[in-house]
Amino acid sequence: MTPSELLKKKIDEESEILKNSFRGPSYWAIQNIVRRIDFIFPLFHRRDGWTKQQVDEFREFYNYGWAPILKQYYDKIDISVYEPFPLMNDEMISWTDSNISFSGRIEFCKQLLSYEKAGLISISNPRENVFTFSYLHEVTGIEQYDQMSFDFFKEQIVERIIERKKQDKPFEEEKIKSELRSIIRNPDGKMISYETTPEIDEYYNQLGHYHVLRLQGYDDFDTKDKFGGIEYWKYVDMIELIAGTALMHVEACLELVKSNPKVDLMNILSYTYFKDKTIKQFSKYLEVSENEIEQIFSCLTLSKENFDYYLEYPATPPPMYFQVSENLTIRSVAGCLSNPFSLLNRELKRKYRSDYDKAVNQREDRFRKELFMFFPDKRIIKIPRGVNISSNGIRTDIDAVIFDSKTGTLGIFQLKWQDPFAKDMTERYSRMSNLFPKANEWVEKMKKWVTSNTSKTIINSLQINKYLKEKIDIKDICCFVISRNQMNFTGMEIIDKTVAWSSWYQLIESQARFKTEFDDPIREMFVKIKSFSPERRLNMEELPQAEDLEVQIGKIKVIYNRKKADNKVS
């Protein structure tokens, strides 16, 4: 038995402890889990006597552990039965923390097994019940560069857009916060209630809009794309409204606890809502039919219909709503403030597959138009559609074509809009296998086509001649492969170095951070992307190093020691 097979066997044995650990109704276990993630994810950032690493590890195990343990209770819950919403106590908090943390450790180890299967790490078993792992690649974690580029986009570009929006539509924030404090009530000295005003609602609706702008996935589809007959913008509007309401609720809860420290925050952050009343309220507020609201609401809710597949994704974001009976849901502030598009976009694919496929097919045109915005100069000819190539046995297409009528530089692009993936190794493999083999094949075809044709033939084939006022030859050709979300994968070497390979956000960051002096926009983009490749970037900013780690699961220990791993590699 290999070390990984032995580790799997042992963690499967340990996971049996989690079964039947709660003897009350499944609904009570579910509400305990939701209430704790509503506190841990948005608010738990430090604890007396704990180091930052201990807090981070606790949150990470919570991130891995909540979904698998919730799934077993969702499997058992009878939604035809209505149960009351009991208050949490120390015993329930202790049960929830210990079980989610234990579950998180097990799922973390399962993730390590997935990493080994993907060829990223090696697991050893130096002595009984002790397992160690080491990274197999000298440079590990270059996927983080794609995330870092997205963070740059969010912090440096989106935040500027938000600041401009705030200036265009200013609010008297202190006045609104004061009004919010004035409407808070404290029934029985334990719970919270409030009746908002139109001004308070408008302010927090705007905060919900800003929150969505910071998320990855909200622009996966065009606003006019329809799913189940409903435009995507209506789904997004609903998320913005709910997110804004959640932000208001969190602030109201924190204000109440300030004024009455005896109130337990965990008993007021999560709230139950009757589904029918909630749908009527949203329908009236948004002036949208109840049928449409119900359809949108179903795509934002974890239910008996979709929990089985959604909770399988490792460290998946919580949903906005959890169904706990036929007409009762729990709104989760953690779900509202993490990334609701994770569930929404998966549900649109599951429930409306033909609509989803149609919307995906329309992405290329959107991607091309957004790319062209980098070239506003009128001298840059932009072909408004993809171009099919069929010449000397070469059959392929070029997703985007631009030509500089001043310098004679031609840019040809393959655009890949892949859905983002988080920690799921199956999805990671799918993204890699859909990207690189096809892209490398396309690059080879482009090279053969370019070398076997004259400048005039290429210009005519790409329909550039229709836009030229006078004859000009191609002086230089820049070839690009641009992926919407991910381009960098540990262990995947870029074969052709003459091509500019980039994720969309890496392209944006490279254009913003590097300054050049030459008057050739297409070549400039090419050079900037190449200068921002992982190989070059490693010389500018070191990747974060994995911290030493020791995970205890019953009798099992799983250890990562950086010094020993480095010595082993050297």
pLDDT above 90 (res 547): no
Cα 272–Cα 278–Cα 279 angle in degrees, nearest 5: 145
Query: Which phi and psi angles does 540 have, rounded to 5°?
Result: -95, -35
Amino acid at 268: I
Task: Give the whole-angstrom CA distance, residue 271 versus residue 31.
Answer: 10
pLDDT in tens, 112-121: 999 999 999 9
Query: Span 543-570, mean pLDDT?
Result: 79
pLDDT above 90 (res 497): no
Contact 116, 122 (CB under 8 A): yes
Q: Above pLDDT 70, what percent of the chain?
A: 99
pLDDT in tens, 428-469: 999 999 999 999 999 999 999 999 999 999 999 999 999 998
3-state secondary structure of 443: helix
CB atoms within 10 A of CB 303: 17
Contacts of 265 (CB under 8 A, 6+ apart): 39, 43, 253, 254, 257
pLDDT score for 566: 55
Q: Residue 185: beta bridge partners?
A: 193
Spatial strand order in the sheet of 130-135: 121-127, 130-135, 556-560, 549-553
Model pTM score: 0.93
DSSP strand pairing (400-404 vs 394-398): unpaired
Residue 193 DSSP code: B
pLDDT in tens, 61-75: 999 999 999 999 999
Most distant pair of Cα atoms in the chain: their distance = 83
pLDDT in tens, 307-327: 999 999 999 999 999 999 999
pLDDT in tens, 9-50: 999 999 999 988 888 889 999 999 999 999 999 999 999 999
Contact 116, 3 (CB under 8 A): no
Task: Give the whole-angstrom CA distance, residue 73 versus residue 22.
Answer: 9
pLDDT in tens, 41-53: 999 999 999 999 9
Q: Residue 401: beta bridge partners?
A: 412
Contact 241, 256 (CB under 8 A): no
pLDDT above 90 (res 234): yes
pLDDT above 50 (res 569): no
Burial class (CB in 10 A: 0-12, 13-18, 19+), 489: buried
pLDDT score for 564: 63
Contact 45, 55 (CB under 8 A): yes
Query: Span 402-429, mean pLDDT?
Result: 94
Contact 216, 339 (CB under 8 A): yes
pLDDT above 90 (res 84): no
Contact 510, 530 (CB under 8 A): no
Specify the DSSP element, H or E, that contains 151. Answer: helix 143-152
Whole-angstrom Cα Rg for the chain: 27
H helices within 44-132, ranges in order?
A: 52-76, 90-117
pLDDT score for 514: 87
Give Cα 46 distance to the centre of its chain: 24
Mean pLDDT of the chain: 93
Query: Looking at 167-181, 403-417, 511-525, which range is the least confident one?
Result: 511-525
pLDDT above 80 (res 563): no
pLDDT score for 570: 39
pLDDT score for 339: 95
pLDDT score for 517: 81
